[in-house]
Amino acid sequence: MPGFPRPFASEDASDETFDDYDEFVPRHLPEPGPFLEGTDVLTGDDHVDFHRLTREIFEERGVYDATFGYNLARLNLDSRHPDAGFRYAVAPGERNVLLAEFTPTTKFCPQSDSLTVGALRAWNGLSDRHDYDRVSVAVAPMHQQSTEINGKLRDLERRLRDQSDPPDSNADDGPSPPF
């Protein structure tokens, strides 16, 4: 990201380390976890299309992994971390709600809280960019603080749903939404 230092960026990563945004490579993605159980998990072009949009939204909103020094959406493409990243699914009975489960690279990832909150804010703050009324986010249960983080995310989502007006898509036009 221009203008931000990358103190922990991996210099050993080459373009060959990453899949293309137009590829769906299941072996480089985490298995869907319990948050997505019983849902229609996005695969193939459906996954690729939403993930390409995720890259754009995360770029605009600055959802970056400080450890790796890249847009968090790129984690899905990093072959060095095949069990980490986002998986997406349509909520059962709610065709306009997307579920996104984030699996961090380690069970003690210190950024999981801020990354999932950032993702939630980005997707829901720019909801005019996708076909879903709401995106619900969770961190995989393998993370040591998943219960606390997911509780916080549910609270933020409740606050989002309780707002009478949708979140403002221009963060610079006033105060941030309360979620």
> Looking at residues 165-171, what average pLDDT do you find?
46
Q: Is residue 172 part of a domain?
A: no
Domain membership flag for residue 171: no
Q: How many folded domains does the chain comprise?
A: 1
- Residue 166 to residues 63, 131, 133, 174: CA-CA distances in angstroms? 20, 14, 10, 14
Quote the pLDDT of residue 171.
42
Q: Which tokens belong to 73?
A: 């959406």
| pTM of the complete model beyond 0.85 | no
**3-state SS assignment for residue 117:** helix
- Phi/psi for 138 (5° steps) reads -145, 155
Query: Residue 90's domain spans which residues?
Result: 15-164
Query: 136 - beta bridge partners?
Result: 99
pLDDT one-digit tens code per residue, 43-69: 999 999 999 999 999 999 999 999 889
User: Would you say residue 165 has pLDDT above 70?
Assistant: no
Percent of the chain past pLDDT 70, that is, above it, reads 83
Confirm whether 90 is domain-assigned: yes
Residue 107 covered by a domain: yes
Give the count of beta carbons closer than 10 Å to the beta carbon of residue 73: 24
Pairing of β 97-103 and β 134-139: parallel
CA distance linking residue 114 with residue 157, whole number of Å: 15
Which structure tokens are listed for 70?
């890249």
Residue 30 placed within a domain:
yes
Rounded Cα distance between 95 and 142, Å, is 28
Q: Which two tokens stand for residue 50?
A: 């939403």
Q: Is 39 a domain residue?
A: yes
Name the CA dihedral angle for 100, 89, 140, 157, rounded to a multiple of 10 degrees.
40
